[in-house]
Structure 1
């Protein structure tokens, strides 16, 4: 009887060990569990697990459960098996030209207007010689492996307590932005004073007058209940938020080549799927939800004036050449 019990325990232990994943990635993002991105990350994780027969498991953590973004990025650089949903602006703090993708009106300068054109433009950017060079430097010099940047979170607008129609209307307003030079210089070029505040603290910051508003997507505003502290949505569409899914280059290289390919393929696939859904369907839904909560939409903005003003950010950051080079490689101009 005792021998049978021991054999049973051994069998269970062996079975458990065989079933356990060989590689585990803990993936962090700052968005709420109700955001479309969270569901997309879960789909990515499920697809990877299925295609690797359970050898690779991606555990997704929402609402910055693993920590603030900057801390996670440092862990990634150190080689930890963690990942982060970030953006080119933050990656631009390491390789400055990469930050060009999150400076105001980048996607407009690439000539993309429709959702389909956005994805096509991003594919061309990915294949461009300049971007390949920058991504290689990011990986080999700083330890960041970019799995995908086909994750578009939607156009960002200014959410404030006064209407904004032209750059002059932003004068004197303190607007919350992420703490990266590319982002802050974009907002400064458009006429406002950028204030770096953590994503989860935006509501309190506006409520306590630590800032006068924020530049976000409609989904961010609705899911964060920011309609309680801001009145106007001025549709400048100044940044189409292009997210980067980043992991440790050291960890990524430890995987078998076929698993590396699967992770990247499924990351691109999930990103394109959720991006198209956001741009063609969800953005309008969240906009209407915000309107129902009392947000007043200002649509008659002078976009041409904002685009012209935005060029100062590229110049100030010293990456106007990077923009012009990508325009040449992507648009053939």
Structure 2
């Protein structure tokens, strides 16, 4: 009996040691569920898929990113709050929404704040912008992985031609629910109406809104050419997007995974941004073929002047001036 008992004990210990060795041999894996509001045919979606593939390859499968389009995981604002609590979620968002936590950073989505990809690149080294990102992470749990994703210029899409700020008077224009968006549209002459991205088409059909302000690449995917006639090239905002994850989750990653996540996001963002600007001309021609009129003779000087009122209304004009000085604009 003693011999049998000893044999069983040795067997159990052997299995335990084997299991322990297997556990050590298997490195810990990490996952991220990444949400965005855009459709599957948008250039950003393809860019996010490439980012995920590059990160998984670089970490040998140790970090896997699953991409969810069309707000499949939920509303942007709800996802951001879950991220703040430490969930392994990511969200494509913007500095306007980040401005709800660190007010100054909202300037990056203000009227005519930056107007070229080169200026966006300079923002990455601007001390004020770096400080804002650190505050987002340390105080609000939001880690900005990259803001190297530029969705293009936002224009007004309406059912009447718009050439000056006066032409927007009385028009209800959909905007995302963030102060800088609201004040920007108000400063440029229209009445802002906060509305979710997915509600815009029915909102136009039901005449709850008179127009939208979007980038060209949003129009075909949303079939907005069916309910809008004019694309007015105001270029009032160069739309910088932020890829945000939980600071707590990010800090839990091995250092090499953190580097891979950030570097591959920047790399994919730069490539996607260039592709978007390349595609804009093609989209313009598509929209003309769909019956839309492109209004090019817009008084940009008048719109730039009007846009300054948004910074003043939110008391972030000094923040704008500080960053402009740092990037030499």
Instruction: Tell me the distance in 2 between the aligned counterparts of 1:212 and 1:20.
Output: 55
Corresponding position of 1:106: 113
Deviation readout 1:62-92 (Å, 9 max, x if unpaired): 0000001011000001100000000000001
1:318 aligns with 2:315: yes
Q: CA deviation at 1:18?
A: 7.7
In 1, Cα distance between the equivalents of 2:241 and 2:189? 24
CA offsets 1:114-135 (integer angstroms, 9 cap, x no match): xxxx2x3222211111111111
What's 1:78 paired with? 85
2:24 maps to 1:27: no
* Distance in 2 separating the partners of 1:44 and 1:188: 36
CA deviations 1:265-291 (Å, max 9, x no partner) are 000000000101111x11111111111
- Rate the CA distance shift 1:21–1:165 in 2: closer, same or farther, 3 A: farther
Matched residue, 2:12: none
Q: Does 1:284 align with 2:281?
A: yes
Partner of 2:190: 192
Equivalent pairs counted in the alignment come to 310
Cα shift at 1:20: 9.1
1:245-268 CA distance string (max 9 Å, x none): 000000000001111011000000
Q: Within the alignment, does 1:295 sit opposite 2:302 as a pair?
A: no
Q: How far did residue 19 of structure 1 move? A: 8.0
Check the 8 A contact 2:150/2:240 in 1, yes or no: yes
Query: Does residue 122 of the first structure (1) align with residue 129 of the second (2)?
Result: no
In structure 2, what is the Cα distance between the partners aligned to 1:241 and 1:185? 16
Give unmatched runs, 5+ long, in structure 2.
1-20
State the alpha-carbon separation in 2 of the partners of residues 330 and 289 from structure 1. 36
CA distance in 1, matches of 2:27, 2:268: 25
Q: Which residue of 272, 276, 288 maps to 1:274?
A: 272
Write out per-residue CA displacement over residues 212-234 of structure 1, whole angstroms, 9 at most, x where no aligned residue. Answer: 01001111111100000001111
| Alignment correspondent of 1:148 | 146
Q: Distance in 1 between matches of 2:27 and 2:152?
A: 37
Counterpart CA distance in 2 for 1:296 and 1:216 is: 16
What residue number does 1:37 align with? 44
Tell me the residue number matched to 1:61: 68
Deviation at 1:104, TM superposition (A): 1.0
Cα distance change, pair 133–230 in 1 and its aligned pair in 2 (3 A): same
SS at match of 2:65: strand
Is 1:91 aligned with 2:89?
Answer: no
TM-score (norm 2): 0.91
Matched, 1:305 2:312: no
Question: What's the counterpart of residue 247 of structure 2?
Answer: 249
Uncovered stretches (5+) of structure 1, i.e. residues with no partner:
1-13, 113-117
Root mean square deviation of aligned Cα: 1.8
Which 4+ stretches in 1 moved above 3 angstroms?
17-21
How far did 1:21 drift? Answer: 6.8
